[in-house]
A = this chain, B = another copy of it.
């Protein structure tokens, strides 16, 4: 006999005039002398349901005075609603109070700033906005798994604790069991890492790519989906120290195949969320980013643009537009350049490919020109770079040369080089920042508001 609010919304006709039992929390309450209304949210659905109660209840007075967020169990009849904007309501026959919420509950019925809500990250998913954000986060994660699994990809758990700095890039968090009050030292006065848990220096991963490539050589198409870490002192709305990343890797595939996969994935997961999170997405479209649906439909309904870096530089130079950062071949594209390309020139997501090797990672496949590599960045209107990837260097001689240039030791990357010795194969992959995709899909502009308990400099609360 116990029902969920979601079920009542999805199958209203079936339950009309039936008795149901609901349980949940009081979101709103108003009462008059002989009757009252409770908006009950049971967590199963974005919307709550209206409970009508009256003096037939023996505990009417107590119910009338219930505090916001009190937990109750309601038995009642589903009836057609008189009120506007809702199809049904519950005529209460019995309301049991499980706990009366303390009166200092911080989420009373008024608007709260996102900044304030971050300080009560344990309670904010009870608000409309964050209920919508974190349900979308869940559905988006599932869409990603579904897309890759249905396409035969193997989900690979690459290690979180790592003995190597994957890309030689980014500041890392050290992982240790040494007593920081009394760090053991070698005779030379250096940290004695042999005393540490793993017998060597270890850090939190910044990318699973290199490990992922090893599994690509066995399973052809794989993807990772796990947490990654950057110890950067960036206090911006787009950086977090801990975030989740998706990194597919595909064998016998060049950059074209990589772009096709990225485009198919982006379209699939956006469509999935729009289909599965109707109520949440309408909320975002109405209250968080006006025009969100137009933006997302524009992504769904157009082929993504494709342009080489060299062409992109020409477009920028010939645009007649003044940029803060001057444009010339060889520069790293800045946000203003990326936005011009996707928002003003292409007016849709666009892949920029074949960047100068100097501004890209050592593992990207060198083009025949000797100057550029088979990199790709996907730039999307409204957010800029959302995916970065490349075809990987599969020629061991070139790879070793590039590693030497980057100052990386072949010893540390023996396992990576092995992939080029024992059946090297053309392969490609990319990384998608999960939080950035959530921001894109919801219109939320601060990464702290799409991570349940965000970690940023000087902040690891909860």
How big is the A interface, by class?
35 or more
A43-87: contact bitstring with B at CB < 8 Å (1 yes, 0 no)? 110000000000000000000000001110100000000000000
Which of A141-188 touch B at CB < 8 Å?
141-142, 145, 149, 152-164, 171, 173-178, 180-181, 183
> Is B211's CB under 8 angstroms from A462's CB?
yes
Q: Does A305 contact B (CB under 8 A)?
A: no
B contact residues around A176 at 8 Å (CB): 173-174, 176, 180
Residue of B at shortest CB range from A204? Answer: B175
| Interface 9-residue window, one of A292-300, A322-330, A418-426 | A418-426
Residue of B at shortest CB range from A182? Answer: B183
Copies of this chain present in the complex amount to 2
> Is B159's CB under 8 angstroms from A452's CB?
yes
> Is B423's CB under 8 angstroms from A101's CB?
yes
Q: Does A351 contact B (CB under 8 A)?
A: no
> Is B135's CB under 8 angstroms from A219's CB?
yes
Which of A77-113 touch B at CB < 8 Å?
98-99, 101-102, 105
| Interface 9-residue window, one of A220-228, A259-267, A283-291, A361-369 | A220-228
Residue of B at shortest CB range from A224? Answer: B452
Of B198, B241, B424, the residue contacting A98 (CB under 8 A) is B424
B contact residues around A231 at 8 Å (CB): 177, 197
Central interface residue in A73, A197, A426, by most chain B CB within 10 Å: A197
> Is B175's CB under 8 angstroms from A218's CB?
no
B contact residues around A24 at 8 Å (CB): 220, 252
Q: Does A440 contact B (CB under 8 A)?
A: no
Q: Does A319 contact B (CB under 8 A)?
A: no
> Is B452's CB under 8 angstroms from A156's CB?
yes
Q: Does A215 contact B (CB under 8 A)?
A: yes
Central interface residue in A42, A44, A149, A422, by most chain B CB within 10 Å: A422
> Is B180's CB under 8 angstroms from A421's CB?
no
CA A460 to CA B43, docked complex, whole Å: 41
> Is A155's CB under 8 angstroms from B141's CB?
yes
CA A452 to CA B394, docked complex, whole Å: 22
Of B135, B145, B161, the residue contacting A455 (CB under 8 A) is B161
Which of A415-462 touch B at CB < 8 Å?
415, 418-426, 451-453, 455, 457-462
> Is A453's CB under 8 angstroms from B204's CB?
no
CA A156 to CA B226, docked complex, whole Å: 13
Q: Does A309 contact B (CB under 8 A)?
A: no
Q: Does A134 contact B (CB under 8 A)?
A: yes
CA A216 to CA B131, docked complex, whole Å: 11
> Is B455's CB under 8 angstroms from A215's CB?
no
> Is A152's CB under 8 angstroms from B73's CB?
no
Of B191, B251, B452, the residue contacting A180 (CB under 8 A) is B191
**How far does the Cβ of A394 sit from chain B's closest Cβ, in whole Å?**
8
> Is A142's CB under 8 angstroms from B155's CB?
yes
Q: Does A214 contact B (CB under 8 A)?
A: yes
**How far does the Cβ of A215 sit from chain B's closest Cβ, in whole Å?**
6
> Is B424's CB under 8 angstroms from A122's CB?
no
Q: Does A126 contact B (CB under 8 A)?
A: yes
Of B99, B121, B202, B461, the residue contacting A425 (CB under 8 A) is B99
21 contacts between A and B (CB under 8 A): A4-B220, A23-B251, A25-B425, A43-B216, A43-B218, A44-B152, A71-B425, A99-B394, A99-B420, A101-B421, A123-B422, A130-B218, A131-B218, A134-B219, A138-B156, A141-B155, A142-B155, A158-B453, A174-B178, A198-B455, A211-B462
Interface set of A (CB-CB < 8 Å, partner B): 4, 6, 23-26, 42-44, 69-71, 73, 98-99, 101-102, 105, 121-123, 125-126, 130-131, 134-135, 137-139, 141-142, 145, 149, 152-164, 171, 173-178, 180-181, 183, 189-191, 197-200, 202, 204, 211, 214-221, 226-227, 229, 231, 233, 241-242, 244, 251-252, 394, 415, 418-426, 451-453, 455, 457-462
Extra 17 A-B pairs, beta carbons < 8 Å, given A44-B220, A177-B231, A197-B233 = A4-B152, A25-B425, A42-B252, A43-B220, A99-B425, A101-B421, A101-B422, A121-B214, A122-B214, A125-B215, A125-B218, A141-B157, A173-B175, A175-B175, A198-B455, A198-B459, A199-B459
- What 7 pairs across the A-B complex have the smallest Cβ distances? A43-B220, A125-B218, A122-B214, A198-B460, A99-B424, A138-B155, A199-B458
